[in-house]
Structure 1
Amino acid sequence: MVNNELAIKISNLGFHYPGNDGVTFSGLNLKVKKGERFGLFGPNGAGKTTLLSLMTGLLSANQGTVELLGHDVSRHSNKVNALFGFVPQDFSFYQEMSPVENLEFFGAWAGLNRRQIKTRTDELLHILGLENVRNKQVDKFSGGMKRRVNLAIGVIHDPSVLILDEPTVGVDVQTRHAIINYLLELNKNGTTLIYTSHQLSEAEGLCEEVALIDSGEIIAQNTLTELLKEHSKDSLEGLFLELTGKEYRNDV
């Protein structure tokens, strides 16, 4: 349930890549409430993945602060790391290992003990339909199965905030449906979701609050219902095209 506590508070954020290549942020501010299903959307090269990386401490800001549940992410403390899970667009596991071996490794890295790892592993493999391949090498899996392993690793430690970058890209309809339903169940139980994707029709059923980003700036933020009403649109895709344009974008 959404309340007035903040899961993410970004204040006066400044960032640029060395050599000034890529997206630049200057004085960016963003708030995400605890328990919210929050969507971040924008064209290629707009800064979505960079901003998610700043939220998790994978990148360090040049100025300003990023707070996760009141903790400064830049300090990289074990306490901060335990609060969030990150499901990146690129697969973040060892292809030569099995789901069980991957979850054992990443569970230990997250600070879980052996009993906790076993309990969570059995639970997640059941929920995500991977029980019958628990001991097979992940490099033999389909893209959809790998996405489910990626998700399991991101939630192995039961994080309070789950950050997802294109969690369903390249999967079949059944896998997408199962992943979205699982995310909704996590949120129902209190997990804050921060999600970005190019699957805008999917996002409409998942996200309550949305922000549109372009060229390193937040150009719109509100509940999806209010934004559609404000701009007289009946879909997130229509709103997206109105605010970011229809021209080709090259992410280089």
Structure 2
Amino acid sequence: MKPIGVHYDSCYERHDTGPGHPESAARYCVLREALEALPEDIVRLPGRKAAVAEVLLAHEPYYHDLVYRDVISCADQLRTGDTAICEDSYDVALEATGAVIEAVDAVIRGDVSRVFCAVRPPGHHATASRGMGFCIFNHVAIAANHLRRVHGLKRIAIVDWDVHHGNGTEAIFETDPGVFYVSLHEGNIYPYTGRAADRGAGPGEGFTLNLPLPHGSEGSLALAAWDEHAAPALDAFQPEFVLVSAGFDARKDD
């Protein structure tokens, strides 16, 4: 039986979002320390910086350049909106993207059966041309296109659970029938997208499944939505690879 992989690194704590920020280095530190205590049969995988060409698998060149310029100019926020940055944010975002690519490559090689990547800054709000919602580069979207371009896969599923809808990931693949996007999220909160009626567009119509849940939903309701809607849709799609955007902000103590 193939082992399970995990990736974490203190380098992600260099992305400084400022005092009192909900997406903080201190929050990540708690997670890293928990992962360090895992049994030795969990394989820790190394990371690396993503190349610019890899970032461009899901982002426009001018947006990549904007991020780089904003960081080196010592701005405290991306000019595209509500994403705090510091002098290390560009490099740390590249590390996060590179780690996710390394993880999917390890699964494809057969080194591990699956990998949990604890990386930050997060990614699912980042569109091809705009960072927002604390996100800079969309690591999962980049990994999906890497799997298709480099490894020749045809059908990728992205499962996204979070309090907030992954508008960036949905937008990147909205017209793409090769990626099936499923999101479980709270309805009617930031970024005010992810309606159940939004199912993709053009050739991608029917390849987006949004499952907005009421505020205060228990886990049982999310599981019921998964069993009734998401699981059958994924079974019908028959993905060759499943990527999970795992958000933990629905937990009451987060």
For CA contacts below 8 A with separation 6 or more, give which structure has more relative contact order. Answer: 1
Higher helix share: 1
Q: Return the structure number with greater strand share.
A: 1
TM-score greater than 0.5 by the shorter chain: no
Q: Normalization by structure 2: what TM-score? A: 0.32
